[in-house]
Homo-oligomer: A and B are copies of this chain.
Amino acid sequence: MMKKIAVLTSGGDAPAMNAAIRAITLSCNYHQLQCVGFYHGYNGLIDDQYVEMEHFDVNPTLQQGGTILKSARCQAMLTSEGVIQACNTLRKHEIDALIVIGGDGSLRGLQAIKQHWEKQVIGLPGTIDNDLSGTDCTIGFATAVTTATHAIDKIRDTANAFERIFIVEVMGRHSGHIAFNVGIATGAEAIISFENFSADRALQKVTELLKAIDKQQHTHGSFLIVLAENLWPGGAQALKESLTEQGKVDSAICILGHIQRGGSPVPEDRNLGTELGLAAVDAIITGQDNVMIGREAGKVIATPLEQVINTAKPVSAHWVNAHQQQLTHYLK
């Protein structure tokens, strides 16, 4: 009998989740497997929102942001009742393997399912935050960096025209992958992120910044601070107030927010989503289980879910230092 593979997207949506769904569907078609989807993340498993997927459904979605299977966060999956209910739906539809595309929390959900379900589970890294080990880049990260970079390019124009300080808050959950890649790509004068920030040096950091700013007033024009979300107590607004109070300098804030999640994926993400989608089906065929499929150093690899979930992937110290080197003209 034809094997039946289910796919769902879970947690914060990320550009090129659709590319992965499409590749899974087309590859199932190629390998003569049946492909089905569940809507709204794990909620679709719990509530049995089921759909059969064909190539003409997924083909036009390669360039679309969001996810045609919808996504959601799912509280019920934190309870064993929820997990068991999800597994019952999988059994009801006689699913042979489940592929979940999502971030850290989504992969934990998949682990939970594995404990109550005997079939294969495969994770794919789908999150703009790039905070998953087992892959160099997550699906959606490159698009988020591109969107934030273009947005900050625009802000730079106004910052230059007014010779003004801007604080721009970018996403990233609890890591600085977006902050550092966007900050370096936009030539930000400062990046304040988890990797180069400690609470007890916060005040000192502000003071250094202010000195640097004072220096540049006479040379450059604008001064851009890229701030990682969830970092500064009180957020961008609080940082702005500190700059005003302690440094007597005025600044403007801009919180990029949800524009970083959507949009037509950049080709890098479409191709990563496609490659990992194809590889997920290959992994099922070759009997892999309880792993996340990622790409490191250009090669597709499988990493146990356990390990992915318990290993951090920090921004490399090399890259953090790269930013410092470029700013010496402020410090002389």
Contacts and interface: CB of A to CB of B under 8 A. Distances in A.
A220 B158 contact: no
Contacts of A255: 255, 257
A286 interface: no
Contact of A154 (B27, B142, B147): B147
B258 A257 contact: no
Main secondary structure of the interface of A (DSSP, over half): helix
Interface in A155-191: 155-158, 160-163, 166, 181-182, 184-187
B71 A161 contact: yes
Contacts of A30: 325-326, 328
Nearest to A142: B268
A64 interface: yes
Report the copy number of this chain in the oligomer.
4
A184 B274 contact: yes
A176 to B, nearest CB: 14
Given A30-B325, A136-B298, A162-B70, A154 B262 contact: yes
Interface of A: 9, 13, 15, 22-23, 26-27, 29-30, 40, 55-56, 59, 62-67, 70-72, 136, 142, 145-147, 149, 151, 153-158, 160-163, 166, 181-182, 184-187, 219-221, 252-259, 261-264, 266-268, 270-271, 274-275, 278, 296-298, 316, 319, 322, 325-326, 328-329
